[in-house]
Structure 1
Amino acid sequence: MYQTIVIGGGPSGLMAAISASEQGGKVLLIDKKDQLGRKLQISGGGRCNVTNRLPYEEIIKNIPGNGKFLYSAFNTFDNESIIQYFESKGVKLKEEDNGRMFPVSNNAKDVVTTLLKHLEHNQVEIKTNLTVNQLLLTEEKITGVDTDRGIFQAESIIIATGGKSVPQTGSTGDGYRFAMQAGHTITELFPTEVPITSNEPFIKSKVLQGLSLQNVALSVLRKNGKPAITHQMDMLFTHFGLSGPAALRCSQFVYKEQQRQKKQDVLMMIDCFPEESLHELTARVNRLLKDQPDKAIKNSLKGLVHERYLLFLLQQAGIDETTSGHHLKKEQLTEFITSLKQFSLTVNGTLSIEKAFVTGGGVSVKEIHPATMQSKLHDNLFFCGEVLDIHGYTGGYNITSALVTGYVAGLNAQKTTSH
Structure 2
Amino acid sequence: MENRYDLIVVGSGAAGIISAIVSARDGKKVLVLEKLSQIASKLKATGGGRCNLTNTLSNEDFMRKFGRDGRFMQDALKEFDHKALVDFFKEIGVETHAPDGFRIFPTSHSSVTIIKALQDEMDRVDIEVRCNEKVDEILYENSQVRGVKTLNNTFLTKSVILATGGLGYPTLGAEGDGYDMACGLGHKVTELHPAMMPLKTKEDWVKNCRADTIAKVELRVDMKKHKKLRAIGDLIFTKNGIRGPVVLDFAREVTPLLEKYGEVPLLLNLTKGMNEEQILSHIKTQNSKNPHANILEIVTTLLPHAISSELCKLANVNPHAKYKEIEGSNRAKLIQLLVWTPLTITGHDGFKMAMITRGGINLKEINPKTMQSKLINGLYFCGEIMNLDGPCGGYNLQWSFSSGHLAGKLLR
**TM value normalised by structure 1:** 0.93
Q: Which moved more, 1:47-56 or 1:57-66?
A: 57-66
Q: How far did residue 2 of structure 1 move? A: 0.4
Residue 26 (structure 2) pairs with residue 23 (structure 1):
yes
Q: Distance in 2 between matches of 1:249 and 1:291?
A: 40
Q: How far did residue 345 of structure 1 move? A: 1.6
Q: Distance in 2 between matches of 1:349 and 1:207?
A: 19
SS of alignment partner, residue 209 of structure 2: coil
CA contact (8 A) 1:164 1:171 kept: yes
Q: How far did residue 258 of structure 1 move? A: 4.0
CA contact (8 A) 2:218 2:273 kept: no
- Aligned letter for 1:250? F
CA contact (8 A) 2:231 2:250 kept: yes
Q: How far did residue 37 of structure 1 move? A: 1.4
Q: Distance in 2 between matches of 1:9 and 1:65?
A: 29
Q: Distance in 2 between matches of 1:237 and 1:35?
A: 35
Q: Following superposition of structure 1 onto structure 2, how do residues 14-413 of structure 1 map, counting pairs within 5 Å?
A: 14-64=17-67, 66-97=69-100, 99-203=102-206, 206-209=207-210, 211-223=212-224, 226-231=227-232, 233-258=233-258, 262-412=260-410
- Aligned letter for 2:341? F
Q: Deviations over 1:88-130 (max 9, x none)?
A: 2221111133621001111211111111111111111111111
Q: Distance in 1 between matches of 2:287 and 2:330?
A: 14
CA contact (8 A) 1:222 1:228 kept: no
- The 3 A distance-change label for structure 1 pair 199 and 301 is closer
Q: Distance in 2 between matches of 1:225 and 1:103?
A: 39
Q: Distance in 2 between matches of 1:225 and 1:364?
A: 24
CA contact (8 A) 2:218 2:230 kept: no
In percent, how many aligned pairs have the same letter? Answer: 30
CA contact (8 A) 1:274 1:341 kept: no
**TM value normalised by structure 2:** 0.94
Q: Distance in 2 between matches of 1:188 and 1:21?
A: 35
Q: Deviations over 1:53-87 (max 9, x none)?
A: 11112211222373221012112222211011011
SS of alignment partner, residue 137 of structure 2: strand
SS of alignment partner, residue 359 of structure 1: strand
Q: Deviations over 1:250-277 (max 9, x none)?
A: 1111124446xx4242221111223433
- Aligned letter for 1:17? A
Q: Deviations over 1:133-155 (max 9, x none)?
A: 11112233221111122111112
Q: Which moved more, 1:272-281 or 1:369-378?
A: 272-281
In the alignment, structure 1 segments of 5+ residues that lack a partner are none
- Aligned letter for 1:320? N
- Aligned letter for 1:246? V
CA contact (8 A) 1:267 1:344 kept: yes
CA contact (8 A) 1:66 1:390 kept: yes
Q: Distance in 2 between matches of 1:309 and 1:98?
A: 31
CA contact (8 A) 2:179 2:189 kept: yes
- Cα RMSD after superposing both structures: 1.8
Q: Deviations over 1:277-336 (max 9, x none)?
A: 321221011111233333322234433211011011111111111112221222211211
Q: Distance in 1 between matches of 2:63 and 2:254?
A: 21
Q: Say how many residue pairs are matched.
A: 409
SS of alignment partner, residue 224 of structure 2: coil
- The 3 A distance-change label for structure 1 pair 35 and 133 is same
Q: Which runs of 4+ in 1 moved over 4 A?
A: none
Q: Distance in 1 between matches of 2:37 and 2:226?
A: 49
SS of alignment partner, residue 97 of structure 1: coil
- Aligned letter for 1:377? L
